[in-house]
Structure 1
Amino acid sequence: MMTLSITQQDNLDQKINEAFSNTTGWFVDAVFAEIPVTDSVGIPWVLIILILGASYFTFYFKGINLRAFPTAVNVVRGKYDDLEAGAKVLVSEEVVTVDGDQLDTLRVEGHDGEVSHFQALTAALSATVGLGNIAGVAIALSIGGAGATFWMILAGLLGMASKFVECTLGVAYREINHHGIVYGGPMYYLKNGLRDIGKGRLGKILSVMFAIMCVGASFGGGNMFQANQAFKLFEFVSGGEESFFFGKGWLFGLVMAIFVGIVIIGGIKKIAKVTDKIVPAMVLMYVLVVVIILGMNYENIPSAFSAILKGAFNAQGVTGGMIGVMVQGFRRAAFSNEAGIGSASIAHAAVRTRYAASEGLVALLEPFIDTVVVCTMTALLLIITGQITVGNEVSFEQGVILTSNALAQGFSWFPYLLTVAVILFAFSSMISWSYYGHQAWSFLFGRGKRAEYLYKSIFCVFVIVGAAASLGAVVDFSDAMVFSMMVPNMIGLVLLAPKVSVELKRYINTIRS
């Protein structure tokens, strides 16, 4: 049997990456084409649409980002759970049928969802809280300085409105089969929602576009990228070139693929049972460690906030900050909170509720937790410990290591906690994205068991490939697919905003009465 030397293997990897880049480069260039702001600065058009869309929804729903925040917390706490039992199920004018049965009848019979509000929130958060909160922040600050943090917080606050709209629609237009399994997300509210307002042909086209991009994103940014970056940090902490695991990414990937496979075979219920334990634990662990470091350097916190505010409004802060956060930070972690992308609505669609807006309110907490809280704390950590040199742009691997070094200034063993957190972040992101990808896959190829197991098998194989491979152009392509999901989704959100307004009034009136 012919074997390849290390040099030959490196050359082969390089050729594969070059071939992939040449094949898909036009797509990546089209998605990330920039609109010039100055002679030297440009902003990708997709980011402009996302920010404009989030701003539009913020004004359209009269500042629901902050106005409805207390209500959202109460929904997650279960304060309004008693409203679900006595709810009157409204039958739409054009009744949707699934397997020959009426969708609304299925809800009356008790099949009104699969998971709780809290589980839906954690399942969606597990896909968003990840390496973007750790390495992505370091990349943003290396470009835009401390002022980048201000624009990151602003993007998170605006994104709360987009998340509310898409997750309300995810529940409003979901489909439920006779086994009580929920199928939801942009594919369904684009197809069914736009049909209801007389734009059925457009809805079919946009729904297929979104599904194709979602499947691609699940294999790339939601899988291979996560496995690859988790292994890189694990390899670094375990000794680098001296480690037993050096160069054995396939072994790390195989172990992770086994655990991923065990979870995703069980569907959203199994995923939710895992994420509602992992997500709170890993977020609390990471936040607690960062708080300890900040507490040990409390005298520097005021100056850090001062640097954030001053840096946000100088030339370097505005241009570098916006581009650093929105391009580097959000792009590298699928926009961190994924507001406007539409992916989270797939997880939220599985919630047990008869009021679509109730889950929309729950979902608006995601960007707050993901970006305003976790990302901001990472930024303060990096600023206070002096890990960032502005103008010296770092890679994702370097960004994780900078955060690890910052934590080491507290206790020498803190970087090991970060490694555990990153692996859990990657694991939870993969199992949630497998659900997103499978939902899109079933929309394209049917809901049979054969199609389901084929997708999940392919997904597990890509876990191994991702940990072992040098991703290169594959990561750029998968990121571009995540961004491109925004295009059909945002069109649907704007056209269906009046439907969301009706659902919101219905739920708020029920609470008041």
Structure 2
Amino acid sequence: MKRFLLSLLTIVLPLVSFAQEAQELGMDQKIDRAFGNATGWFVEFIFYQIPFTDEISIYWVLFPLILGAMYFTVYFNFINFRGFFTSINIVRGKHDHVEGHENHFVEVSDAVHKNAEGDNPDTIRVEGHEGEVSHFQALTAALSATVGLGNIAGVAIAVSIGGAGATFWMIIAGFLGMASKFVECTLGVKYRDIAADGTVYGGPMYYLTKGLKEKGMGGLGKVLAALFAIFVIGGSFGGGNMFQVNQAFQLVENITGGDQSFLHDRGWMFGIVMAVLVGIVIIGGIKKIAKVTDKIVPFMVVIYVAASLFVLIAKYDLIGDAFGQIWDGAFSPTGIAGGAVGVLIQGFRRAAFSNEAGIGSSSIAHSAVKTKYAASEGMVALLEPFIDTVVVCTMTALVLIITGSLTGTGPANDAEAILMTSGAFESVISWFPYVLTIAVVLFAFSTMISWSYYGFQGWAYLFGRSKKMEYAYKFLFCVFVVIGAAASLGSVIGFSDAMIFAMMVPNMIGLVLLAPKVKEELKKYMTAIKKK
């Protein structure tokens, strides 16, 4: 660990000096412009908006996400509703007995042929190794990557542009996204690899290659898996890293005095602290990450929801009117976007950007779970969009509506949106901006450590599983933490965000083609529950 920290500082300090010089010389703007010119075509393609009216344009990436979620909802007979309480019981451990053995060991052969139950043994586990984390830890690790700035800033932007009615469509999108999460996380477990030392390698890279090979489309699977791996690495460095630390620093700087703050123009200091903390956690792999997230995520979600409930109780007489605004606004909108379609799109867009259902990222964390039944983790995963979007996002929207914060033209960016949400809480709880700042930093931290795991899985798929490759990726990830806090490279972050949503393309193709496999796994698991 000491050697790692010394190596980190050896690289980081020269980068800090360079970042400071770049800011003084305006070099970061030059780099940003050059990078934007080189990658702008990709960003424009991924975030291309299809014009419907003079005022309304829709991101094309929303169509496969929304239509796919609707398809899975119907195909699995509304599993997002029928399976809700079963999912809660799985997290509680009520159905652990169906695993068959106390340690859940499964006999493994070196053969590539399937066993009697229809599973390929080497995709379940190595004998003596049952996965790495519990159902609850897998859920919190995945939640830590989604619950965060999108729930605080994204919601403020959505309801500012689309009005209160956008909240209704966020909730609908959250419920639909539960079905997509169920499918991708079931596949993540079914087709995962487990190394001899018990380390789990899973996610879309593996179910695209193995699953599509079973269907006679091995070549397509390899291409889609490689594309996904490239996209997830890029997304991990930017949207899952640089953007998070950059936004967290802006809020910390603002709360400590803005331009007069000691931290003003010293983002590198904040970045180094975060890089060291992130490095300490991610060196330990998914087990260490899960041990951190299963404490941070529940604590911060409870704090945030409790504060929201306090605001709602303090202004209980306005709750009825708030829900009235949400309902009326969903179908008779008054928001800036104008038109029911515009409000619907704002709600769906922010929900999709927040819970990442259909993107494929969460299946990487869920694949590390200890279980014999792939569908059991799919059931757990469907709780994720419910917590992230239906609960947390709705709470944020209600606070903004009830406190009368939806005035003016709304926030121009995520940093202003966070301050807008902070101001809404402050109007009722004077000291809450300080708590929210801590929450944002912790949410950013937990998002970063989870996305480091996602990116590493893509890295390992492309470059191998050696320790050298592992530490090379984690080292680079920590360096990008400092860069993200010290520089303002908007085009770099925009490109990485585009890569996150580009992950949806290969992933959704695989989900649709492999949905019948998921149905088989669900039937197998539900039969096991009923037998016991």
Instruction: Calculate the TM-score normalised by the size of structure 1.
Output: 0.94
Partners in 2 of 1:119 and 1:5 — Cα distance? 39
Partners in 1 of 2:300 and 2:484 — Cα distance? 23
- 1:460-488 deviation per Cα after TM superposition (whole angstroms, max 9, x unaligned): 00001101111311221111101100000
Q: Which residue of 2 aligns with 1:438?
A: 456
Partners in 2 of 1:91 and 1:52 — Cα distance? 39
Are the equivalent residues in 1 in contact too, given 2:239–2:496 (CA < 8 A)? yes
1:79 shift after superposition: 0.2
- 1:276-321 deviation per Cα after TM superposition (whole angstroms, max 9, x unaligned): 0010001111111111111111110110000000000125262332
Partners in 2 of 1:70 and 1:273 — Cα distance? 25
1:36 shift after superposition: 2.5
* 1:132 matches 2:150: yes
Q: Which residue of 2 aligns with 1:27?
A: 42
Are the equivalent residues in 2 in contact too, given 1:145–1:317 (CA < 8 A)? no
SS at match of 1:35: strand
Q: 1:411 to 1:510 in 2, by over 3 A?
A: same
- 1:96-135 deviation per Cα after TM superposition (whole angstroms, max 9, x unaligned): 89xxxx8449736231210000000000000000000001
- 1:339-388 deviation per Cα after TM superposition (whole angstroms, max 9, x unaligned): 00000000000000000000000000000000000000000000111111
Q: Which residue of 2 aligns with 1:40?
A: 55
Q: 1:304 to 1:15 in 2, by over 3 A?
A: same
Partners in 1 of 2:143 and 2:20 — Cα distance? 42
* 1:508 matches 2:526: yes
Partners in 2 of 1:485 and 1:180 — Cα distance? 27
Q: 1:65 to 1:228 in 2, by over 3 A?
A: same
Are the equivalent residues in 2 in contact too, given 1:163–1:339 (CA < 8 A)? yes
Q: Which residue of 2 aligns with 1:57?
A: 72
* 1:322 matches 2:337: no
1:323-338 paired onto structure 2 within 5 Å: 323-327=345-349, 329-330=350-351, 335-338=353-356
Are the equivalent residues in 2 in contact too, given 1:106–1:178 (CA < 8 A)? no
Q: Which residue of 1 aligns with 2:13?
A: none
1:324 shift after superposition: 2.5
- 1:49-95 deviation per Cα after TM superposition (whole angstroms, max 9, x unaligned): 10000000000001001110000000000001111134795989944
SS at match of 2:503: helix
- 1:431-478 deviation per Cα after TM superposition (whole angstroms, max 9, x unaligned): 000000000000000000000000000000000110111131122111
Root-mean-square deviation over aligned CA pairs: 2.2
Q: 1:406 to 1:106 in 2, by over 3 A?
A: closer
Q: 1:502 to 1:407 in 2, by over 3 A?
A: same
* 1:278 matches 2:296: yes
Opposite residue 94 of structure 2, the aligned amino acid is K
Single out whichever of 317-326 and 290-299 deviates more from structure 2.
317-326
Opposite residue 65 of structure 1, the aligned amino acid is N
Are the equivalent residues in 1 in contact too, given 2:141–2:450 (CA < 8 A)? yes
1:5 shift after superposition: 9.3
Q: Which residue of 2 aligns with 1:471?
A: 489
1:413 shift after superposition: 1.1
* 1:158 matches 2:150: no
Partners in 2 of 1:8 and 1:88 — Cα distance? 56
Which of 228, 241, 252 is the matching residue for 2:259? 241
Partners in 2 of 1:286 and 1:317 — Cα distance? 32
Partners in 2 of 1:66 and 1:14 — Cα distance? 49
Opposite residue 287 of structure 2, the aligned amino acid is K
- 1:4-48 deviation per Cα after TM superposition (whole angstroms, max 9, x unaligned): 998973632221111111111000111112223224322111101
Q: 1:474 to 1:330 in 2, by over 3 A?
A: farther
Q: 1:446 to 1:105 in 2, by over 3 A?
A: closer
Q: 1:82 to 1:24 in 2, by over 3 A?
A: same
Partners in 1 of 2:23 and 2:507 — Cα distance? 43
Are the equivalent residues in 2 in contact too, given 1:138–1:394 (CA < 8 A)? no
Aligned residues: percent identity?
Answer: 64
* 1:17 matches 2:32: yes
Partners in 2 of 1:105 and 1:501 — Cα distance? 18
Query: What stretches of structure 2 of length at least 5 have no aligned partner?
Result: 1-16
Instruction: Calculate the TM-score normalised by the size of structure 2.
Output: 0.91
Opposite residue 445 of structure 1, the aligned amino acid is F
Q: 1:15 to 1:108 in 2, by over 3 A?
A: closer
- Give the aligned length: 505
Q: Which residue of 1 aligns with 2:11?
A: none
Partners in 2 of 1:18 and 1:120 — Cα distance? 39
Are the equivalent residues in 2 in contact too, given 1:168–1:500 (CA < 8 A)? yes
Partners in 1 of 2:134 and 2:172 — Cα distance? 29
SS at match of 2:132: coil
